Amino acid sequence: MNICVFLSAADLDDRYTRPAREFARLLGKGGHTLVWGGSDVGLMKVVADGVEEAGGRLLGVSVEFLAAKARPGVDEMVVAKDLAQRKRLLLEKADAVVIMVGGTGTLDEATEILELKKHGHTEKPVVLLNTAGFYDGLKEQFRRMEDEGFLPRPLTELVFFAEEPVGALAYLEESLGVA
């Protein structure tokens, strides 16, 4: 399966890179394709390295103003004209989405897929990988949105919260019927 991963391009602490590397290894060993922002820096590089080393494929979707940071030698690289087109292409090429730790760009990508799913424009499985409790506050906010009637669908239909990489991939494989 093609798994889109939204994540940071920042250089991060081992408490974030270790689980990301583990997820990447599982993804690659499973014969899956990483669909990601295409950058060869920070956490994006860590995940791409891990997938490639474990035998998975790499499908990058960069954007013109970041093309200089794009990873060379991938299986496929697309360069979008802007961030909106990049998000659209990432989602089009993916069978499922995993949201890892990140900043405002990652949060923007995450809320876009959840909004599309909320309105029934996609049924792709979405996992929020809550590494080191990074998204505890967001998880609480989503629950409040659900409890107070802001979500027309149950939260469990929109996103699966995984605490560990193995649980994230297991959920995706089960959701898509991949053995």
pLDDT digits (tens, 9 = 90+) for 30-82: 999 999 999 999 999 999 999 999 999 999 999 999 999 999 999 999 999 99
9-31: buried (b, 16+ CB within 10 Å) or exposed (e) per residue?
Answer: beebeeebbebbbbbbbbbbebe
> For residue 140, what pLDDT band results from cuts at 50, 70 and 90?
very high
Give mean pLDDT, residues 92-98: 97
Q: pLDDT tier at 177 (50, 70, 90 boundaries)? A: confident
Nearest-angstrom CA–CA distance, 100 and 97: 10
Percentage, residues of the chain above pLDDT 70: 99
Show the tokens assigned to 166.
């193995």
Considering the entire predicted model, what is its pTM? 0.95
DSSP string, 98-126: EE-S--HHHHHHHHHHHHHHHTTS----E
